[in-house]
């Protein structure tokens, strides 16, 4: 299990687990992802040595990623997105990646990433223009993130079309398996967006993260202006290669409300019926184990939250390129609450 590198990563990994596994806001999710790599071949001696070490025998010089997706939401709306990424590895200089994203809500976004210009430095520039929404949705920003080893620090600034701006400073350090981090954000709202004139908000947060062999735990508190507003915990644990659990807890101090979510995931393998097994998969290997062609990998997951929403999903793979998932959810605190279903389908191809 890879250790989170920053304080916010402890919470992002749990949020992404719940979001990508259950897709709570979607009735139908369709996606296509193609990844093409241009490679340069090393010398034969280097290839041989790399093969023995089970490392890559080729250098990735550039890549292209194309990913369109269509999302049908539970509220009856639909959202289409197209993402194109270009990457270029300049040996002994830096790695450059450019992303272009457009969606049906009128937003066009461009992102430029420059990595390792200085070892451990990431420079990110972002610009978004929305042809439909007001100028407040036109955003430009730049972020510098530096992480040489056990210390990280970042500073970011963004501004929208009406003059409102955000300044974010984030830093932290790791001691063995404990990470201490914190950050400060200053939000300035322009008079064009605020009727009473210019307004300023200061947000500060601090927290700690713990990492074990197969688990991670993060905790942080957030202070807005002159009072503490929220506290949050996030836990992710891999009980085995095919079993995992995640938990998220958020307490709103202003409203004295708590929201907790806990989920489990289990991977299983089902054997295909005999009449569905192709002839090349009938025979058993020498050790008597099942041929991989006769096994169907599935993932079963469930999630429950303190607001009464219970979700369960079954996900599978077909032909190593087609990923599908069926989701069912219901509010257990509401009598006669109907079941809601969702379906996800994605096709991935690498070349």
Task: Please write the tens of the pLDDT for every residue from 73-110.
Answer: 988 899 999 999 999 988 888 899 999 999 998 899 99
Domains of the chain (ranges; CATH) run: 7-35+62-276+290-350 (2.40.160.10)
Phi, psi of 194 (to 5 degrees): -125, 125
**Among 148-152, 231-235, 265-269, the range of highest mean pLDDT:** 231-235
Contact 172/181 with Cβ under 8 angstroms?
yes
In angstroms, the Cα distances linking 345 to 71, 195, 342 are: 11, 45, 10
Predicted confidence (pLDDT) at residue 283 exceeds the cutoff of 50:
no
Helix (H) or strand (E) holding 18: helix 7-22
Over the chain, what is the mean pLDDT? 85
Beta strands in the chain (DSSP E): 26-41, 58-73, 78-90, 94-103, 107-115, 121-130, 139-146, 151-160, 165-175, 178-189, 199-211, 215-224, 227-240, 243-252, 257-271, 295-305, 309-318, 322-331, 340-350
User: Phi, psi (5° rounding) for residue 275?
Assistant: -70, -10
Around Cβ 28, how many Cβ atoms within 10 Å?
16
Could you tell me the two tokens for 321? Answer: 């390129």
The pLDDT assigned to 243 comes to 92
Name the residue among 215, 312, 331, 315 with its Cα closest to residue 264.
312
* Lowest mean pLDDT across 3-12, 162-171, 279-288: 279-288
pTM of the model: 0.83
- Choose from 75-84, 275-284, 289-298, 316-325 the range with maximum mean pLDDT: 75-84
**Residues 6 or more apart from 323 whose CB is under 8 A from it?**
315, 316, 317, 344, 345, 346, 347, 348
Secondary structure of 22-72 in HEC code, one letter for each residue: HCCCEEEEEEEEEEEEEEEECCHHHHHHHHHCCCCCEEEEEEEEEEEEEEE
pLDDT category, 282, cuts 50, 70, 90? very low
Strands 340-350 and 26-41: parallel
Please give the helix or strand (H or E) that residue 13 lies within, else none: helix 7-22
For 20-46, the pLDDT digits (tens) are: 999 988 999 999 999 888 765 443 444
CB 263 within 8 A of CB 302: yes
CB 303 within 8 A of CB 18: yes
pLDDT tens digit string along 174-204? 998 999 999 999 998 888 777 665 588 899 9
Q: How far apart are CA 305 and CA 24, in angstroms?
A: 12
Task: Write the Ramachandran bin of 153: left for phi over 0, alpha for psi from -120 to 50, otherwise beta.
Answer: beta
Output the CA torsion 47→3→349→78 (10° steps): -160
Residues near 55 by beta carbon (within 8 Å), at least 6 away in sequence: none
**Residue 261, both tokens:** 């979510």
The pLDDT, as a whole number, for residue 210 is 95
CB neighbours of residue 135 within 10 Å: 14
pLDDT confidence band for 288 (50 / 70 / 90): very low
Q: Which is higher by pLDDT, 219 or 116?
A: 219
């Amino acid at each position: 299990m890879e250790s989170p590198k920053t304080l916010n990563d402890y919470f992002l990994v749990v949020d992404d687990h719940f979001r990508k596994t259950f897709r709570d806001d979607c009735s139908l999710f369709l996606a296509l992802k193609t990844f093409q790599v241009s490679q340069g071949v090393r010398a034969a001696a280097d290839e041989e040595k790399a093969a023995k070490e089970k490392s890559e025998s080729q250098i990735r010089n550039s890549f292209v990623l194309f990913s369109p997706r269509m999302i049908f939401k539970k509220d009856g709306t639909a959202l289409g997105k197209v993402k194109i990424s270009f990457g270029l590895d300049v040996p002994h200089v830096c790695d450059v990646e450019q992303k272009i994203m457009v969606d049906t809500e009128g937003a066009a976004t461009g992102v430029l990433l420059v990595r390792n210009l200085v070892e451990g430095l990431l420079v990110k520039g972002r610009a978004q223009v929305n042809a439909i929404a007001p100028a407040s949705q036109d955003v430009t920003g730049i972020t510098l993130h530096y992480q040489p080893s056990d210390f990280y620090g970042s500073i970011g600034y963004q501004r929208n079309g009406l003059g409102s701006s955000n300044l974010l400073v984030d830093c932290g350090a790791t001691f063995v398996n404990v990470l201490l981090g914190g950050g400060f954000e200053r939000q300035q709202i322009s008079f064009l967006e605020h009727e009473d004139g210019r307004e300023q908000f200061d947000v500060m947060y601090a927290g700690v993260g713990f990492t074990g062999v197969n688990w991670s735990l993060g905790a942080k508190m957030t202070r807005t202006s002159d009072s503490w507003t929220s506290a949050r915990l996030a836990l992710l644990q891999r009980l085995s290669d095919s079993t995992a659990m995640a938990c998220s807890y958020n307490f709103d101090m202003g409203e004295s409300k708590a929201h907790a979510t806990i989920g489990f995931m289990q991977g299983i393998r089902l054997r295909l019926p005999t009449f569905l097994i192709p002839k090349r998969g009938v025979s058993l290997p020498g050790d008597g184990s099942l041929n991989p062609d006769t096994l169907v990998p599935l993932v079963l997951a469930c999630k429950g939250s303190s607001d009464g929403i219970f979700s369960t999903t079954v996900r599978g793979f077909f032909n190593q390129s087609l990923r599908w998932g069926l989701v069912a959810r219901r509010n257990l605190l509401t009598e006669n609450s109907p079941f809601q279903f969702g379906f996800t389908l994605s096709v991935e191809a690498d070349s």
